[in-house]
Amino acid sequence: MFCTLSTSANRLKSLFFCATVAFAPFYAFADDAVKDGAYLATAGDCTSCHTAPGGKPFAGGLKMANQFGYLLTPNITPDIETGIGSYSKDDFFRVLHNGVNKKDQDLYPFMPYGAYTKVTREDSDKIYDYLRTIQPVSNSIEVNHLDFPFNIRSSMIVWRELFFKPGTYKSDPTQSAAWNRGAYLVEGLGHCSSCHSPRNLMGAIENSKAYTGSVIDGWYALNITSNPLTGLGKWSAQDIARFLKTGSYESKTTALGPMEEVVHNSTGKMTDSDLLAMGTYLKTLPANSSLSEDQKKVDANTLVGTRLYIDNCSGCHQSSGRGITGVIPPLAGNPAVIAARPNNIIKVIIRGFTARNGYIPMPSFASRLNDQEIVEITNYIRSNWGNTANPDATKGLVEDIRKHPGI
């Protein structure tokens, strides 16, 4: 449905401009956390997307287009009115981790939050601290220029339910510290899979083929798995690190198109140890790759539950079951949802509940949903968005609750 990169022509126009402005702080770095944040923002290549050709650093306005129209990247300077000056650290982390902005709107996956969700809270806070030192720029951006119906943000609910799984990167204890650091950078801040992976018809990464190469803006983002013929199988980790640092593999190749910009604005400014860690991780990716962390598998049962949730529940409880603060209770992490037994949530679906504690009333769905549909919704919300309750609702239990209100 949506790609993450802008047109390479627009991005390349800003290539040398960004060299002089990308790290021009308004205030001197006050502490190590801010210095670390500047480095992490470099690793995430924030400047390339949030600086328009000829524009001020991080003030947004870069055009990111695809077949559904285009977006203009937002202003992420600390300007109160037009930037993120009113964002708290919690708000900023929510953007990276959940893909939801301060207005409680789902972000379009032009913003690679599918990768940024892996960033730790500590690193998110450091990036936030750094961005607060950038000179505030008043630059109001009308972000959304997508064609109907994609310009309606609620259209993102389907995409998110099927293809987005929030979760901070978890180290693999069987691997070295360098490998884990490389995995964190490649899969998280570096969002390498966004360009180097083929996508399905809805624009989501095909996880089983991650990093095996894809066409981006008319350029081919190369296979960066360990495939010896079409990938990096014949490269050493040191070769990969050197390429990321210089944009060149001596006597072999040089960075072209968007990758040239990535080297110039991001990887070329990273430490040798981090680049070697990335090379170490990339060398272990099998030819037919997958992202190292488990991703949501879209099977037939999930599709049924997703469809029923979207049709009946998402209008109020929103994507990822997050609800609306103080108005509609969340389903993610809700004790009634993840209880040892599913009775409570089944009763609420069948009977609804009256307004209480500031929350608006919920209508009964007893006549709208049949027993099997209630089973599918109950099991879906008990086992998604980080909920780990057993999907153990049964048709017999639903029938009993309908017949015997007291159980």
3-state secondary structure string, the chain? CCCCCCCHHHHHHCHHHHHHHCCCCCCCCCCHHHHHHHHHHHHCCHHHHHECCCCCCCCECCEEEECCEEEECCCCCCCCCCCCCCCCHHHHHHHHHHCECCCCCECCCCCCHHHHCCCCHHHHHHHHHHHCCCCCCCCCCCCEEECCCCCCHHHHHHHHHHHCCCCCCCCCCCCCHHHHHHHHHHHHHCCCHHHHCCECCCCCECHHHCCCCEEECCEEECCCCCCCCCCCCCCCHHHHHHHHHHCEECCCEECCCHHHHHHHHCHHHCCHHHHHHHHHHHCCCCCCCCCCCCCCCCCHHHHHHHHHHHHHCHHHHCHHHCCECCCECCCCCCCCCCCCCCHHHHHHHHHCECCECCECCECCCCCCCCHHHHHHHHHHHHCCCCCCCCCCCCHHHHHHHHHCCCC
Q: Is 49 annotated as a binding residue?
A: yes
Spatial neighbors of 340 by CB under 8 A, at least 6 apart, are 389
Q: Is 145 annotated as a binding residue?
A: no
Q: Calculate the average pLDDT of the chain.
A: 83
258 to 11, 77, 229, 246, 280: CA distances (angstroms): 7, 24, 23, 14, 23
pLDDT in tens, 293-344: 444 444 555 678 888 888 889 888 888 888 888 888 889 888 778 887 888 8
pLDDT in tens, 313-322: 988 888 888 8
Q: What is the mean pLDDT of residues 129-156?
A: 85
Q: Return the minimum-mean-pLDDT range out of 22-31, 213-222, 272-281, 378-387.
A: 22-31
Q: Is 18 annotated as a binding residue?
A: no
pLDDT value for 329: 85
pLDDT at 356 over 80: no
Q: Is 3 annotated as a binding residue?
A: no
pLDDT at 37 over 90: yes
Q: Return the minimum-mean-pLDDT range out of 173-182, 185-194, 196-205.
A: 196-205
Q: What is the mean pLDDT of residues 242-262?
A: 85
pLDDT value for 333: 85
Angle at 392 between CA 391 and CA 395, to 5 degrees: 120
Counting residues of the chain whose pLDDT is more than 70, the rounded percentage is 87
86 to 95, 108, 137: CA distances (angstroms): 13, 21, 13
326 to 319, 322, 364: CA distances (angstroms): 17, 11, 20
pLDDT value for 102: 92
- Whether a cis peptide bond, with omega within 30° of 0, leads into 286 is no
pLDDT at 2 over 60: no
Q: Is 316 annotated as a binding residue?
A: yes
pLDDT in tens, 43-80: 999 998 899 999 999 999 988 877 678 889 999 999 99
Give me the amino acid identity at 16. Answer: F
Q: What is the mean pLDDT of residues 27-56?
A: 86
Domains and CATH numbers, the chain: 8-172 (no CATH), 193-282 (no CATH), 300-403 (1.10.760.10)
pLDDT value for 86: 96
pLDDT at 284 over 60: yes
* CA–CA dist 255, 142 (Å, integer): 33
pLDDT at 403 over 50: yes
Q: Is 192 annotated as a binding residue?
A: yes
Identify the CA nearest to 124 among candidates 157, 98, 146, 104: 98
Counting residues of the chain whose pLDDT is more than 90, the rounded percentage is 39
pLDDT at 13 over 80: no
Identify the CA nearest to 211 among candidates 286, 302, 308: 286
